[in-house]
Amino acid sequence: YVARAFEYTRQFNFVWTVNWRFIGDRVFASHEWALILAAAHIALLVALAVVVWPRLSHSTLPTIVRQGFTRRAHSDVSATEVAVVVFSANFVGIVCARSLHYQFYAWYAHMLPLLLVHARLPLVAVPVVWLVIECAWNVFPSTHTSSLALLAAHIVILVGIFRAPTHAKLS
């Protein structure tokens, strides 16, 4: 799965990238860059699993794993908590993707409202971050500025997800 998901031998077309335009074609196409992104992806998923997701259920990772293998008629996990786990994992994949093309926005735009709320950003920041993402995706072809703006907005959401208070309940 990992070999096919990251396809280290595949050369992505720099002309279509939206997320990494500012790094230049040489770095974009390098094997080292692919490895850095894969390592960041794995590290962020582990960090979510250890730091963020246990907070949602006010539990620890070993307890969550153990409960996941137990048959119970009732679960204390809400649909919103499940969505936050799935959406945040998917969002890390977006942030660490080797290349996002224009059709990818449709793949994760529906997740942004929940992630923005879960990130507990200041109220005024929520529409600003969303607008920056929307504007970045509507620049064709992408530019250094639009690419950096997209990355900055993604980082704001990601940091917000990690900093969300333990008592945050969305449902």
pTM of the model: 0.86
Which residues make Cβ contacts (< 8 Å) with residue 25, sequence separation at least 6?
Answer: 14
Q: What is the mean pLDDT of residues 9-35?
A: 88
Q: Average pLDDT in the 65-92 region? A: 80
Pick the closest to residue 52 from 94, 99, 4, 88 (CA basis).
Answer: 88
For range 112-136, the mean pLDDT:
96
- The pLDDT of residue 75 is 64
pLDDT given at position 61: 75
Residue 165: pLDDT over 60: yes
Q: Is the pLDDT of residue 169 over 90?
A: no
Please work out, in degrees rounded to the nearest 5, the angle formed at the alpha carbon of residue 121 by the alpha carbons of 81 and 129: 105
Q: What does the alpha-carbon distance between residue 127 and residue 109 come to, in Å, rounded to a whole number?
A: 13
What is the band of 171 on the pLDDT scale with cuts at 50, 70, 90?
very low
pLDDT at 121: 95
Give the position of tokens 């600003």.
128
